[in-house]
Structure 1
Amino acid sequence: MSTARRFQPARRQDGALGILYAMILPLMLGMIGLAIDLSMVYARGRELQAVADGAALAAARALDGTPAGLERARNSAEEQASKAEYRFLNPRRINWSGGALSFAASAAGPWIPAGAVSAMEAPTMLFARVDTASLDARYGEVAVAFLRVVGVSASQHMARVAVAGRKETILSPLAVCALNAQEISARGGVSILGAYEAVEYGFRRGVTYNLLRLNPNGSTPRHFLVNPLDFAPAPPLPAHHTDAAVRPFVCSGNMPAPAIGHGSTLYVRQGFPLSMVAELNSRFDLYTDGSTCTPYIAPPDANVRDFRGGYTGFWMTGIAVPVRASAAELDDGNRLVTVADAEGPAAGTTAASYGTLWSFGRPRRYVNGALGTEFQRVHWKHLYPVASGNPPASSYSDDDSPYDRYRLPHFEKPAARVGSPQRRVLNVPLLECPVNGSSARVLGIGRFLMTTPATQAPAGIHAEFGGLTNYAAMTASAVLIQ
């Protein structure tokens, strides 16, 4: 009897637990159901966000300020979205709708439907927005069961938005004066096989210029430091134009700039600081002389060969070559240019006066206001006349471009570095000069290859002109903004 009394409380406890379990079970099932519903809603939201993100990024990468870029952006967004799936338990493909894509001049809008943007508006359309609410409604619908208990509709509709745009533009914070105001014109002098050489804003392709010793309007050199953070119409901030603020952008060669091109306004400061040539020289794997660059933020070029001289016997040994880095200076009292810019050979001009030639590119013929076919090395004697001695002559073939083609180990970066191609190419704004005040009008963007490391004394940034470039070629990676 005492034994029975001893186990009786345990039986009473079992009964109490059973009642408690019966009371808690519906609550537990409800919580599990709510978790399932919420996870379904969350998963659908993530699926739609991935669609919006991918399509917006694809469109933003294609935007280059041209009508063709708008068309590529529309096609890229559709292609990217059409690869996406929704309903992870039973995947279905997304059918794209062009109404989900819109463009704007800024990340804040106003947004214009992709199909309504005109060709005239194309240069300002730099940002893409995708709103999945404009896709078929079924993509955003999620059926819920347990959430209905707390008053939520049985069918939830999800939509997500993404905004993307270019993060930066491959543009150097160094600007120089255009040598003339015409985009493409015929160079005077002797025609070659019935054709004249084309020049672009006064610059000759294949000729190396000292960018710190030019001025089309006088004998005093004119060059400029560009504000890398502030762009019209917003006013510039003084803190953004200090040497310390600009140096990182000289290292990287990139600026968070909008589509800079013909007619754009830049905020400038006259006189590119000579101390900053140390930052430019990171492209040659040089991180000394006070440079603030590091190989991590400013890797060297894949080819760090000094192209000083650059022709007669350049790829041979035992043959003397000119040591001039760029074409000799020509000061006629009205302008500061080079002997290569004279219509005929200036007094004292020899082969060495032309410095480095054709290490990056070669000149083109002028044909009806446009660029024609390239000249060949047999034309050097006509293109670069001399007042005395033999004219310059090339020792490499018509197919050779030393910068792009030659990758011999002793011409390249040290093995310890990871080099990047085209790092030595500077995209330099060509300004309408004279510049008065702190703002300048851009006529075009020139591509210049640094043929040799820059120097502070004498002041020299020696770079070969390789033609004009545009926003499409200067754009860097696109990023999600929203």
Structure 2
Amino acid sequence: MHKVDQNINLPPAKKTTHPRKSPHPSRAQDGIFAIMIVPLILIIVAFFGFTIALSMIYNRKVELQTVADSVALAAASQLNGTDAGIQKAMTAAADAAATGLYSYSGAGIEWDDAAISFGASAGDTGWTDAVGAVAPGTAAKLFFAKVDTNRLAARHGDVGTSLLQVLPSVPASFHVGGTAIAGRKSIGVTPLAICAMSDKRADSRGTELVEYGFRRGVSYDLMALNPDSNSAGANYLVNPIAAPGSLGTSIINRLDIIKPFVCTGTLALPTLGEGKITVEGGFPLASVYQQLNSRFGTYTTPCTSATAPPDTNVKPYTFSTALPWLSVVPKGQSAQGVTANRRLATIADLPPEDVPLTTTPDLYGPLWLYAKAAKYADYREGVSEPSVGYSTFSTSDWANLYKPGPPSVKSGSTYPSTPYTSNTLSPSDGVKGIAERRVLNVPLLHCPVSTSGPVMANVLAIGKFFMTVPATETSIFAEFAGLRPEPLLAGQVTLFR
């Protein structure tokens, strides 16, 4: 048996060791994060810078659009078809711009006439710049104003982008602007047209002025007049939505379209243009007379007191009960109708030498309830009627004006200077009326006009007729009060874009 040598040198036993933990285990991660944080901060700054810059750009756009809207509305409200209207529109534009602010209300607008132009419609492609003189005659067609703030000094629309300069290829500023178009949405003309009883703008009847065959202060049944025939009255429905100068479709049976315009006494047209409008023979009075009577405070759908307010005076002036100042009660609500020389007119319109000697004073109907006869001597060709009107006659002249004189003023009575304002009856139920709502602005047509289907008709003028009493299914009794220049009949002015 061998003995194991205890002295044999064996290699020392290998000790198991564990890696030594670093006293700073996140130092490497910190380095990576430090490398990433810089672009992250740049992205965050860029994001907030972009958001702020976008807000600034948007706010500036809103500010300039508000300026454009207000200036366009102010200018369009002054356009009346005259050169003076253009000048007033430019003044109104500058005044409106002077109240405008931008850059968070920190700066005012420096107006430049180059920023406004005028057109014949909202979709006009040939806008007339305000800078320089508007060609003679052009103003008669310009009822829309266009404002573009991009034509103002560049600083108005420049928005700095300093917060975005950390990003590549970002311009130093963005430019924004506002554009607005405003103009007439309607015109205060009733969708009822009648024939002019004469094509002469003005004529004399002795010393009295006669306009297109009508005498001021005389009441007529608008449904019973015709200069070309004595068989029936010539009256027409005006298409309220057909653009002037173009033939519209038939709407004579579309009462849903017609009635709202009868209620308000307007047409959805900015202007009558050259006076060529679409009409259809036979105004449907039996179907719309109740809408006409909204002027007296009585309402039938679709009229309401909000959209078609009553007149400030809703008192009917009936020939039998409302004329206590007359010595003889008239026999009718208008001058007696006659047929002469193939004309359907009234006895008041016959030449003085043709008035039958048997005519009695009570055949002239009510007189001067709203307007008085005017003196021809005041009329001037091509010159507008003075704002105060033409000189008028007194009731003592009746015997000469209406041979053989109409009823005189009752002994001891005083004829009201203007019965419409002197003897009034206000609307009931607290409804606020509007003065002269009983006035119908009626197109006077050059006749004859075809009564078959929609046709184009030429408007000679717009007659001013005061409704003396509510309309019936067959009659509209109204007193002639002169002519209304179209520029004075501008309806609502609104923004179109």
Task: State the TM bucket, normalised to the shorter chain.
Answer: 0.7 to 0.9
1:63-102 equivalences under 5 Å are 63-88=79-104, 91-102=106-117
**One-letter amino acid matched to 1:449:** F
Q: 1:226 & 1:105 partners in 2: Cα distance?
A: 21
Residue by residue over 1:233-281, the C-alpha shift from the partner in whole angstroms, topping out at 9 and shown as x without a partner, is: 33312358633321211111111123227x5111111111122111111
Which of 215, 219, 228 does residue 226 from structure 2 map onto?
215
1:34–1:147 CA contact under 8 A, matched in 2: yes
Confirm or deny that 1:383 pairs with 2:420.
Answer: no
Confirm or deny that 1:413 pairs with 2:423.
Answer: no
Q: 1:315 & 1:461 partners in 2: Cα distance?
A: 24
Cα–Cα, structure 1 residues 463 and 14, in superposed 2: closer, same or farther, change >3 Å? farther
Find runs of 4+ consecutive structure 1 residues off by over 4 angstroms: 13-26, 310-313, 389-398
Confirm or deny that 1:167 pairs with 2:216.
Answer: no
Equivalence for 1:469: 484
Cα–Cα, structure 1 residues 147 and 466, in superposed 2: closer, same or farther, change >3 Å? farther
Residue by residue over 1:280-325, the C-alpha shift from the partner in whole angstroms, topping out at 9 and shown as x without a partner, is: 111112235xx54233332222211001239995479xx8743622
3-state SS, counterpart of residue 462 of structure 2 = strand
Which of 309, 317, 326 does residue 307 from structure 1 map onto?
317
Equivalence for 1:118: 135
2:238–2:280 CA contact under 8 A, matched in 1: yes
Equivalence for 1:193: none
1:428-447 equivalences under 5 Å are 428-436=442-450, 438-447=455-464
1:111-150 equivalences under 5 Å are 111-114=127-130, 115-148=132-165, 149=167
3-state SS, counterpart of residue 249 of structure 1 = helix
Give ranges in structure 1 of 5+ residues lacking alignment. 1-8, 189-195
**One-letter amino acid matched to 2:308:** A
3-state SS, counterpart of residue 186 of structure 2 = coil
Confirm or deny that 1:49 pairs with 2:65.
Answer: yes
Q: CA deviation at 1:348?
A: 4.2
**One-letter amino acid matched to 1:266:** I
Confirm or deny that 1:286 pairs with 2:302.
Answer: no
Q: 1:208 & 1:239 partners in 2: Cα distance?
A: 30
Confirm or deny that 1:202 pairs with 2:213.
Answer: yes
**One-letter amino acid matched to 1:85:** L
2:328–2:408 CA contact under 8 A, matched in 1: no
Equivalence for 1:359: 369
3-state SS, counterpart of residue 200 of structure 2 = coil
**One-letter amino acid matched to 2:245:** P
1:293-372 equivalences under 5 Å are 293-309=303-319, 314=324, 321-322=329-330, 324-344=332-352, 345-367=355-377, 369-370=379-380, 372=390
**One-letter amino acid matched to 1:104:** G
1:104–1:111 CA contact under 8 A, matched in 2: yes
Q: 1:390 & 1:320 partners in 2: Cα distance?
A: 5
Decide which structure has greater helix share: 1
3-state SS, counterpart of residue 250 of structure 1 = helix
3-state SS, counterpart of residue 212 of structure 1 = coil
Confirm or deny that 1:255 pairs with 2:267.
Answer: yes
Q: 1:37 & 1:168 partners in 2: Cα distance?
A: 42
Q: 2:245 & 2:253 partners in 1: Cα distance?
A: 16
Which of 268, 271, 277 does residue 266 from structure 1 map onto?
277
1:208–1:356 CA contact under 8 A, matched in 2: yes
Residue by residue over 1:137-188, the C-alpha shift from the partner in whole angstroms, topping out at 9 and shown as x without a partner, is: 1111111123342633111122211111101001100000001111111124
Confirm or deny that 1:185 pairs with 2:200.
Answer: no
1:231–1:265 CA contact under 8 A, matched in 2: no
Cα–Cα, structure 1 residues 328 and 20, in superposed 2: closer, same or farther, change >3 Å? farther
Residue by residue over 1:444-466, the C-alpha shift from the partner in whole angstroms, topping out at 9 and shown as x without a partner, is: 0011111100111xx21011111
**One-letter amino acid matched to 2:196:** A
Q: 1:47 & 1:419 partners in 2: Cα distance?
A: 38
2:336–2:363 CA contact under 8 A, matched in 1: yes
Which deviates further from its counterpart, 67-76 or 371-380? 371-380
3-state SS, counterpart of residue 367 of structure 1 = helix
Normalising by the residue count of structure 2, what TM-score does the alignment of the two structures yield? 0.83
Q: CA deviation at 1:392?
A: 6.0
Q: CA deviation at 1:85?
A: 1.7
Q: CA deviation at 1:417?
A: 2.8
Among all aligned residue pairs of Structure 1 and Structure 2, give the percentage whose two residues are the same amino acid: 39
Cα–Cα, structure 1 residues 453 and 146, in superposed 2: closer, same or farther, change >3 Å? same
3-state SS, counterpart of residue 330 of structure 2 = coil
Normalising by the residue count of structure 1, what TM-score does the alignment of the two structures yield? 0.86
Equivalence for 2:16: none
Q: 1:343 & 1:333 partners in 2: Cα distance?
A: 12
1:141–1:155 CA contact under 8 A, matched in 2: yes
Q: 1:448 & 1:306 partners in 2: Cα distance?
A: 15
**One-letter amino acid matched to 2:447:** C
1:266–1:439 CA contact under 8 A, matched in 2: yes
Q: CA deviation at 1:23?
A: 7.4
Q: CA deviation at 1:406?
A: 4.3
Cα–Cα, structure 1 residues 138 and 434, in superposed 2: closer, same or farther, change >3 Å? same
Find the structure with the greater CA-based Rg: 2
Residue by residue over 1:54-84, the C-alpha shift from the partner in whole angstroms, topping out at 9 and shown as x without a partner, is: 1111111111111111111111111111221
3-state SS, counterpart of residue 352 of structure 1 = helix
1:429–1:444 CA contact under 8 A, matched in 2: yes
1:60–1:478 CA contact under 8 A, matched in 2: yes
Q: 1:19 & 1:209 partners in 2: Cα distance?
A: 95
**One-letter amino acid matched to 1:210:** D
Q: 2:329 & 2:371 partners in 1: Cα distance?
A: 19
Q: 2:31 & 2:315 partners in 1: Cα distance?
A: 89
Structural RMSD (CA): 3.2
3-state SS, counterpart of residue 436 of structure 2 = coil
Q: 2:118 & 2:46 partners in 1: Cα distance?
A: 45
Q: CA deviation at 1:31?
A: 2.7
Q: CA deviation at 1:26?
A: 4.5
2:122–2:183 CA contact under 8 A, matched in 1: yes
2:464–2:481 CA contact under 8 A, matched in 1: yes
Residue by residue over 1:422-454, the C-alpha shift from the partner in whole angstroms, topping out at 9 and shown as x without a partner, is: 211111000001113622110000111111001
Equivalence for 2:237: 225
1:169–1:254 CA contact under 8 A, matched in 2: yes
- Alignment length (residue pairs): 455
1:178–1:201 CA contact under 8 A, matched in 2: yes
3-state SS, counterpart of residue 41 of structure 1 = helix
